[in-house]
């Protein structure tokens, strides 16, 4: 994925994650949203993003020349949603705009993982997928850290307004990419057909079962930031909103670093072992945030670093493990199933945690995911996707033809 397709995506990431860094305080403090309302907004956004991304891939398969238009539509939709989000004065308006921004993001997201899995040789599959994940996380970290700086001169509404700048740049880049013509567009291909029956059973079925358990306990990061805002100490020198934005930046930096490390590890060992380690890391983050007391800033930072590490490592290992256990002709469908499981699981986890948080308390909302995480860790310990000796082999010597993935 080269040229204009990646740059609009990265610029949109900076804008969207700038909004994410202040979504919890904006909806919770400014508009008075309960945790379940916040969870509902994020869940609706995730579901809309998954549906829009699936629709994009189907359209791009049938008409490759539409990819530039889809990039432009996604960036323009995100810009509109961000503008209305900043101007919203009641919860339902803000929720609709936030969910719409996620849907626009899905429409403008290219199939980076699929492209990376096709382009990378077998012995570097995890490394390439980890690189793709880390680039997205670095863009998100830039957005969050920019928020921390902007909060010195403006409030949360102003920050959301400033998020329009990178999104507007994404629109401009998309227009220039569109004007470069469709000469480089690949020929049409058959649309992705997701046939779950072909993916059931065997090592891949076991791996997907573990992924279902993990993702069904993977709470949206906005709820973790909401919990962090209730714990961090209050200071005039560094307001709570600014501290939370810095914590989110550290979360994304941790995700970027661990995605790279996880990619290298999955090339040498089973991806399921990395998934098990990610599950343990996320479980530790939930336990820490559940039991932390007001003013425990160090615990908040540590927990968000652990959650970020899990996010980066697990995303990389999930795609690497699925790619390793599928043939090239069925990989696109398998990635489609994986994306659906990720979205569905995160929607379930976020709604469950937000509901229990509202009805009982934050500890119940965070700890309800513990049993599923433990089940996922046990399943991943089976190591169903150990790379073969050929897949672990060093790359061929200089001048020798490199085997194709």
CATH number of the domain to which 36 belongs: 1.20.1250.20
Lowest mean pLDDT among 24-33, 136-145, 256-265: 24-33
Domain count, the chain: 1
pLDDT of 183 > 50? The answer is: no
| 335 found inside a domain | yes
Confidence at residue 292, expressed as pLDDT on a 0 to 100 scale: 93
Q: Residue 397 domain-assigned?
A: no
User: Is residue 401 one of the residues assigned to a domain?
Assistant: no
Q: Indicate whether 24 pLDDT > 80.
A: yes
In a domain, 363, yes or no: yes
- Give domain status of residue 284, yes or no: yes
What confidence score (pLDDT) does residue 336 get?
Answer: 85
Percentage of the chain modeled with pLDDT above 70: 87
User: Does 188 reside within a domain?
Assistant: no
**231 in a structural domain:** yes
At residue 296, the 3 state secondary structure works out as: coil
Non-local (6+) Cβ contacts of 394 within 8 A are 123
Q: How high does pLDDT run on average in the chain? A: 85
Task: Give 110 or 254, the one with higher predicted confidence.
Answer: 254
Q: How much is the pLDDT for 389?
A: 54
In a domain, 128, yes or no: yes
What is the four-CA torsion angle of 242, 91, 17, 148, rounded to 10 degrees? -10
Q: What is the pLDDT of residue 286?
A: 97
Do you know the residue count of the chain?
405
Domain that holds residue 40: 3-180+193-388
Read off the pLDDT of residues 269-309 as tens digits, 9 standing for 90 and up. 888 999 999 999 999 999 999 999 998 999 999 999 999 99
pLDDT tens digit string along 363-396? 999 999 999 999 999 999 876 666 555 555 555 4
pLDDT band at 262 (very low <50, low <70, confident <90, very high): very high
Task: Give, as one character, the DSSP assignment of residue 29.
Answer: I
Q: What is the value of pTM for the model shown?
A: 0.89
Alpha helices in 220-296 (DSSP H): 221-231, 240-268, 271-291
What are 186-236's pLDDT values in tens digits? 555 555 555 555 556 678 888 999 999 999 999 999 999 999 999 998 876
């Amino acid at each position: 994925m080269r040229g204009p397709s990646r740059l609009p995506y990265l610029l949109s990431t900076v804008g969207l994650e700038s909004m994410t860094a202040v979504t919890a305080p904006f909806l919770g403090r400014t508009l008075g949203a309960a945790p379940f309302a916040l969870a509902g907004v994020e869940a609706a956004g995730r579901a809309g993003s998954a549906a829009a991304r699936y629709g994009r891939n189907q359209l791009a398969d049938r008409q490759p020349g539409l990819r530039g238009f889809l990039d432009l539509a996604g960036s323009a939709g995100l810009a509109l949603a961000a503008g209305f989000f900043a101007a919203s004065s009641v919860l339902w308006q803000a929720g609709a705009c936030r969910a719409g921004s996620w849907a626009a993001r899905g429409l403008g997201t290219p199939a980076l993982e699929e492209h990376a899995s096709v382009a990378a040789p077998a012995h570097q599959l995890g490394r390439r997928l980890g690189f793709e994940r880390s680039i997205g996380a670095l863009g998100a970290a830039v957005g969050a850290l920019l928020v921390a700086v902007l909060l010195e001169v403006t409030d949360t509404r102003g920050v959301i307004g400033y998020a329009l700048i990178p999104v507007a740049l994404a629109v401009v880049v998309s227009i220039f990419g569109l004007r470069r013509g469709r000469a480089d567009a690949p020929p049409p291909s058959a649309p992705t057909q997701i046939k779950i029956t072909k993916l059931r059973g065997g090592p891949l079925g076991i791996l997907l079962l573990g992924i279902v358990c993990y993702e069904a306990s993977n709470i949206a990061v906005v709820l973790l930031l909401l919990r962090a805002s209730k714990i961090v100490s209050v200071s005039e020198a560094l307001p709570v909103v600014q501290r939370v934005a810095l914590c989110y930046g550290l979360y994304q930096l941790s995700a970027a670093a661990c995605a790279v490390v996880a990619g290298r590890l999955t090339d040498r060992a089973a991806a399921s072992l990395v998934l098990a380690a990610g599950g343990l890391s996320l479980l530790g983050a939930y336990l820490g945030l559940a039991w932390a007391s007001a003013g425990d800033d160090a615990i908040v930072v540590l927990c968000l670093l652990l959650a970020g590490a899990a996010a980066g490592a697990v995303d990389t290992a999930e795609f690497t493990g699925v790619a390793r256990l599928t043939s090239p002709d069925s990989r696109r469908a398998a990635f489609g199933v994986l994306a659906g499981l990720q979205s569905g699981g995160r929607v379930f986890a976020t709604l469950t945690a937000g509901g229990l948080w509202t009805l009982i308390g934050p500890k119940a909302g965070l700890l309800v995911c513990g049993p599923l995480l433990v089940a996922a860790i046990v399943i991943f310990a089976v190591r169903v996707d150990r790379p073969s000796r050929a897949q672990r082999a060093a790359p061929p010597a200089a001048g020798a033809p490199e085997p194709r993935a």
